[in-house]
A and B are shown apart, each in its own frame.
Chain A
């Protein structure tokens, strides 16, 4: 548990600049994501447009978790709670006749962020394994709440008669909904980028690397972590609101710890602490799920084996493989002495 002094990452890139995207990458990603649905609808593949929407929604949720988990080092096994809160806010409002997105979305974000703030106040007092477990316990509370209260539809969840209404936009078609999701998630990504590139972002990364030293320097460690956790929860709530709209329903399954586990899986698949980690992870996960489920009903077996392989072979996610490869190639060419392999986070979480 004790942070050993002087064990900071010895890689050439500091942890602060690692994984921040250049502007051209961002523009390329944005353009690709905007062209994708147009191509798919031209080919009359509405299914793939919907898949794209789901990828973007889970990319948002995973990126939100990445803020807490990847950047902040807070391993939350309860982020499904915030996803669920966002979804249930939209669904409960819709069942009471309120469809306005101007009302339901801010409320979903606000309630999820407020819940995350309260959970954070209690949970961040604990460390390590205890933090993982306490976030799990809180998420279970919301799961039980959802299945027991008749207003929330019990085991069956809630159905939405139609998608939320945004003035001047008709979200019922797959294409328009996709662009709505792209716009909303895009805003969230810009916000996330501004956050992680700011002093605040650097501070939470530094806290992840060495909490004790940051406290000694005089940073308000607890408040910074709490802020990151609450922001992460709020953005996850936004993803939940979009998710309820995507499937026009919400079920308690969204709140299960299985879902929390899958969000972590997405972050790790993509690379925790890398800006595009959430997007990469969500895309890889959902596309794999779609393609493999077509061939076998034992998708979970494949996923399990794949996960196990990734944990063993690339503990820092797919995005880190690029650096590993670059290092290998660089070392083979004999360009100077490669820094000691230290991109692994193995020591730091103990």
Chain B
């Protein structure tokens, strides 16, 4: 029983860290460029599809992952140059609409190229087994452990990038006051492009890593976009620390909450009802958490702008 909970805690950590990869990019774009990018999930989907396509072409996981990251970052740069740079000067409403339009375009284009059937990415053979964490009691898939390790490393890397480098200093300055930053002599436009490309690369990393666990399908972007938005709103828009705390919070509530709610509901309802109610109540509680946070702190837990 307790091992079941430990396993779910690990799953929650894994889901939370993947959410963080998306939320980190989203919160930077949001915070620095003051831009609502509903199409962030589409970059994640594009990354996953590119990884699947490269995997089918070369048959090897990690090179496919790298290629997907590079190409998604390129797509990000092109989008930023062609579209987001102009959107940035427009109202939030225009941004919502234009990026909503991008979702429609991305979904339909992917459907035209790859078809409506989900694609599969094979797991690297060396990682398809399970690792014995507690002898005979707790096994955990090594691939999921890899995701956790990669997620933690990226989180650390982003922390160092944002807090210890010059470009990170510009990013923080940009998030707290972009106009002032530009006046102080930071060339803000290349910074926007860099931030956007970084966000796209992180999306692709998350999409490609989750590819072997989920089916790579059209619409996968939307299913992770809403939790990612909830994360950054809970954490405070523009704040990296907020994105990490928010991701872990949302990941845990969603995953561990599912288990606890399902087990708890079993005492009230029959098990079939409980196992359909549990997951949806967990998803609902994430939304309600966000509502509660915004009620008490209308700009999130760690607001970047004073």
Q: Which A residues form the contact surface with B (CB < 8 A)?
A: 69, 75, 77, 122-123, 125-130, 132-134, 136-138, 140-141, 144-145, 147-148, 150, 154, 257-258, 261, 264-265, 268, 272, 298, 300-301, 303-308, 310-312, 315, 345-346, 348-350
Stretch of B138-146, B161-169, B288-296 contacting A (4+ beta carbons < 8 Å):
B288-296
Which B residues are in CB contact (< 8 Å) with A150?
273, 276
Contact of A311 among B101, B104, B109, B276 (CB under 8 A): B101
Stretch of B56-64, B117-125, B201-209, B225-233 contacting A (4+ beta carbons < 8 Å):
B225-233
Cβ contact within 8 Å between A140 and B226:
yes
Which B residues are in CB contact (< 8 Å) with A307?
97-98, 100-101, 104
Cβ contact within 8 Å between B34 and A350:
yes
Cβ contact within 8 Å between A147 and B291:
no
Which A residues are in CB contact (< 8 Å) with B283?
140, 144
Main secondary structure of the interface of B (DSSP, over half): helix
Cβ contact within 8 Å between A315 and B94:
yes
B180: Cβ under 8 A from any A Cβ: no
Cβ contact within 8 Å between A305 and B101:
yes
Q: Given contacts A129-B92, A268-B93, is CB(A308)–CB(B30) below 8 Å?
A: no
Cβ contact within 8 Å between B230 and A348:
no
Contact of B96 among A123, A125, A132, A346 (CB under 8 A): A132
Cβ contact within 8 Å between B276 and A148:
yes
Once bound together, how far apart are the Cα atoms of A265 and B230, in whole Å?
23
CB distance from B39 to the nearest CB of A (A): 10
B214: Cβ under 8 A from any A Cβ: no
Of listed A123, A150, A308, A348, residue having the most chain B CB within 10 A: A308
Which A residues are in CB contact (< 8 Å) with B299?
126, 130
> Could you show 21 A-B contacts with beta carbons less than 8 Å apart?
A75-B93, A133-B230, A133-B233, A134-B290, A138-B287, A141-B284, A141-B288, A144-B281, A148-B277, A148-B279, A257-B226, A258-B222, A261-B96, A261-B100, A265-B100, A272-B93, A298-B112, A306-B101, A307-B97, A311-B101, A349-B92
Which B residues are in CB contact (< 8 Å) with A265?
97, 100
Which B residues are in CB contact (< 8 Å) with A77?
96
Contact of B295 among A125, A129, A136 (CB under 8 A): A125
Cβ contact within 8 Å between B91 and A137:
no
Once bound together, how far apart are the Cα atoms of A258 and B300, in whole Å?
25
